[in-house]
Amino acid sequence: NAGVTQTPKFQVLKTGQSMTLQCAQDMNHNSMYWYRQDPGMGLRLIYYSASEGTTDKGEVPNGYNVSRLNKREFSLRLESAAPSQTSVYFCASSEYMLIRGNEKLFFGSGTQLSVL
């Protein structure tokens, strides 16, 4: 099993450009998440999807949109990239976030994004 797969691994954008980060999991998990990681800031939740068909904002949703395409796939879109969005982005999944004990997160390998 591949687990959680993210693409691309690296991306450089110019300010104002748009792009979509792709994420897919093959563990039949219900819940999926997008985090960003900045030096000294830990992991901050951007958006999450508790189950197929639902999405909700996390701590830092401004400037992002998400789509839960199906149970396997959860994409993150930057409509107009800004330098403040330079970060490492991690997709994660869990069996089902709303049931205690099923919240163990499996992370993808990350996307290093630079916005110039």
Partner 1 sequence: GQQVMQIPQYQHVQEGEDFTTYCNSSTTLSNIQWYKQRPGGHPVFLIQLVKSGEVKKQKRLTFQFGEAKKNSSLHITATQTTDVGTYFCAGKSGGSNYKLTFGKGTLLTVNP
Residues that bind partner 1 (CB under 8 A): 40-45, 48, 50, 56, 58, 90, 97-98, 100-101, 103-110
Closer to partner 1 at the Cβ: 73 or 95?
A: 95
Closer to partner 1 at the Cβ: 17 or 22?
A: 22
Distance CA 109, CA 60 (A): 21
The answer to whether 12 and 116 are in contact (CB under 8 A) is yes
Q: How far is the CB of 80 from partner 1 (least distance, A)?
A: 27
Q: How far is the CB of 48 from partner 1 (least distance, A)?
A: 6
